[in-house]
Amino acid sequence: MLINRRTMMATGAAALVAAPALAKTKAVAGPGWYDNAIVIDALGGLGDPYSPDDQLRYTDRGWAETVATGVTVVRDTVFPVGNGTDNWGDYQKSIQDKHNIINANPDRLLLVRSAAEILKAKREKKFGVVIGTQDTCMVGPELDRLAQMKKDGVMTIQLTYNNRNLSGDGSLEPANAGLSKLGRKTIERIESEKMLLDLSHGGAKTMAEAAAFAKRPLVISHTGARALADHVRNTDDATIKAVADKGGVTGVYFMPFLTLDSHPKGLDLIAHIEHVANVAGEDHVGIGTDNGVLPLTLDPETKKKLDAWQQQRIDLGIAAPGEAVGVYTWVEDYNSVDRYRRLAGDLSKRGWSQSRLEKLFGGNFLRVYKDAWGG
């Protein structure tokens, strides 16, 4: 079954993505608090690598390994991204797919529309799913669509993807022209609908202007620190601080862009986390891996699928610098089912207190979700 985390739809066609497979890594003991904590991956994905493509129901093995990650909630993406020919139609198909998956697993998955439902997911031992966009291409000037999307269960709205849309410039646009008039109206409507604004993938000027314009807490769900790796997908310190000053959170991803050679190590990831924590404060940093919840096993078949998907991103003009065939979206040192737990343990060894870790791994995003949505 492919429950596509990054099914990049453009010109009406879905790009190819491989479902994550289990790395053959023995789970290691982690800090005792972790099992009781709210753990939030603010940009991840669902996937069961053990069931057929046409089966929506999780297999027992796929479910057991998802539970073993210790993640309480993942923010999953409803598509499309990019400037296609029928973005609203593509969105309607994608949101229906999300509901079909959740409805096929009512004893395991819980659609999250409030912060209280995150606590419910933890209490009932279910896997919470927050649905959000990574673009406003499906909205454009039709701002009433945001109200319909809220009814559909979409709780976060990312303003731009890598290229320009009607709201503003994405991270790949060389003009870096910033936020449009429509972008400002879109932010106002997102906030009035009590949805959560996400600035990830934005151009530097778009992100800075949106952070200044926003009236309510907002997020950058998945990024890195530009001060450590000067890459367009990473965020400068001033914008990280501006988001924090509005009560928001910046999530650090497990992506090639953490280093300019596209092959980050575990210590690189930790450096970005600690940098964001130092700039924003410990109440304003989180995790948004931009990976599937389960790790990748790069067998020949998976590599073939991922390479084809990467080539399609390049062909569509939505690939960021450093993306290339043979470069995979992971931090290899943390490619295991227990990676969140191991990362917590590694940070603990560096002096992070339990309180600080609880904030990083879920408490901060839980707070901003409550501020945005209520409950």
Rounded distance between C-alpha atoms, residue 90 and residue 19, angstroms? 21
Tell whether pTM > 0.85: yes
Q: Alpha-carbon Rg of the chain, whole angstroms? A: 19
Chain-centroid distance, C-alpha 24: 25
CA 59 to centroid of chain Cα atoms: 24
Q: What distance separates the 2 farthest-apart alpha carbons in the chain? A: 52
Rounded to the nearest 5°, which phi and psi values hold at 137?
Answer: -60, -30
The length of the chain, given as a count of residues: 375
pLDDT reported for residue 18: 33
pLDDT tens, residue by residue, 216-254: 999 999 999 999 999 999 999 999 999 999 999 999 999
Higher pLDDT, 178 or 29: 178
Distance (Å, rounded) from C-alpha 148 to C-alpha 110?
A: 20
Indicate the pLDDT class of residue 27, thresholds 50, 70 and 90: very low
For the chain, give the mean pLDDT: 92
Q: Residue ranges per domain, the chain?
A: 31-373
- The CATH topology of domain 31-373 is TIM Barrel (3.20.20)
| Alpha helices, DSSP H, located in 256-353 | 266-280, 300-316, 339-349
- Residue by residue, DSSP assigns 249-260 as EEEEP-SGGGST
Predicted local distance difference test score (pLDDT) of residue 296: 87
> What is the mean predicted confidence (pLDDT) over 117-141?
98
Under the banding of pLDDT at 50, 70 and 90, the label for residue 14 is very low
Please tell me the predicted confidence (pLDDT) of residue 31.
Answer: 53
Counts for the chain of helices (H) and strands (E), in that order: 12, 11
Residue 271 reports pLDDT greater than 80: yes
Mean pLDDT of all residues in 95-124: 98
